[in-house]
């Protein structure tokens, strides 16, 4: 539970090696030495991430197992996270996701299914588990890391973009369903973010960093926002892009 000054005391990051998720946790936990629980599939990488957060000032960092593609265990993950955090969870960050390889995945194989299963099915399952847990607590916030790629899907990355479009729409509805429960949902829509996941890719216009996304997220939580665009100018850009005729949209450079 947040303290008397409203500061976060516990954070769960689903996708505990995500650079953006870790940056958010660092900013939420470091100032108050709060507890962070990192949940993911790779124990070694989780331990390394935990050391980074401890060095940044988090009070206590724990790691637990989590697989986005194993929905049957997601509710148990929330229960375990609350237990190791010592009680309540103040913020749950849904930070996992797969970018995939559009060229390869659209040509066959199971790559597209993995992207869709992780980014959409996994997010729906984890989101519902988090919402149920926080609703029973009577307080808390869910941060859903979406993407502008889902705002209007492009030919160049339509598999990833469509999975984020579905994920974004789900969390919009989830947020509406939680009004009055004491639980809120913040959807974060960054543009191209320079991280390990995008290393080697050509940066899109208005590219940003994990640190900038984290700062915008923390400000959004404090302000009680429902949606945050990073950078903010992308909200205006996509207000235009959303209404372009499809023949024109297809000619937008990838």
**Active-site residue set:** 160
Q: What is the DSSP string of 122-173?
A: IHHHHHHHHHHHHHHHT-EEEEEE--GGGTS--GGGHHHHHHHHHHHHHHHH
Q: Which residues pair with 141 in a beta bridge?
A: 91, 184
Cβ-based neighbour number of residue 168 at 10 Å? 22
Pick from 241, 207, 195, 200: which is nearest to 95 by CA? Answer: 195
Burial status of residue 129 (CB atoms within 10 A of its CB: 0-12, 13-18, 19 or more): buried
């Amino acid at each position: 539970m947040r303290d008397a000054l409203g500061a976060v005391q516990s954070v769960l990051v689903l996708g505990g090696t995500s650079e953006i998720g870790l940056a958010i946790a660092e900013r939420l936990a470091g100032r108050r030495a709060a507890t962070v629980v990192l949940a993911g599939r790779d124990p070694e990488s989780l331990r390394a991430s935990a050391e980074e957060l401890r060095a940044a000032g988090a009070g206590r960092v724990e790691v637990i197992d989590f697989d986005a593609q194993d929905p049957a265990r997601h509710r148990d993950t929330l229960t375990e996270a609350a237990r190791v955090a010592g009680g309540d969870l103040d913020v749950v960050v849904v930070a996992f996701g797969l970018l995939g390889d559009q060229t390869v995945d659209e040509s066959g194989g199971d790559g597209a299914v993995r992207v869709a299963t992780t980014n959409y099915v996994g997010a729906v399952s984890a989101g519902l588990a988090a919402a149920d847990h926080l609703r029973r607590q009577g307080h808390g916030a869910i941060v859903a890391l979406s993407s502008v790629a889902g705002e209007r899907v492009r030919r160049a990355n339509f598999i990833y973009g469509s999975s984020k479009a579905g994920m974004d729409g789900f969390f919009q509805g989830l947020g509406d369903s939680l009004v009055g429960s004491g639980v809120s949902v913040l959807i974060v829509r960054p543009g191209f973010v320079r991280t390990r996941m995008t290393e080697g890719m050509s940066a899109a216009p208005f590219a940003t960093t994990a640190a900038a996304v984290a700062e915008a997220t923390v400000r959004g939580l404090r302000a009680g926002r429902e949606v945050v665009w990073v950078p903010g100018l992308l909200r205006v850009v996509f207000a235009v892009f959303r209404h372009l005729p499809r023949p024109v949209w297809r000619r937008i450079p990838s």
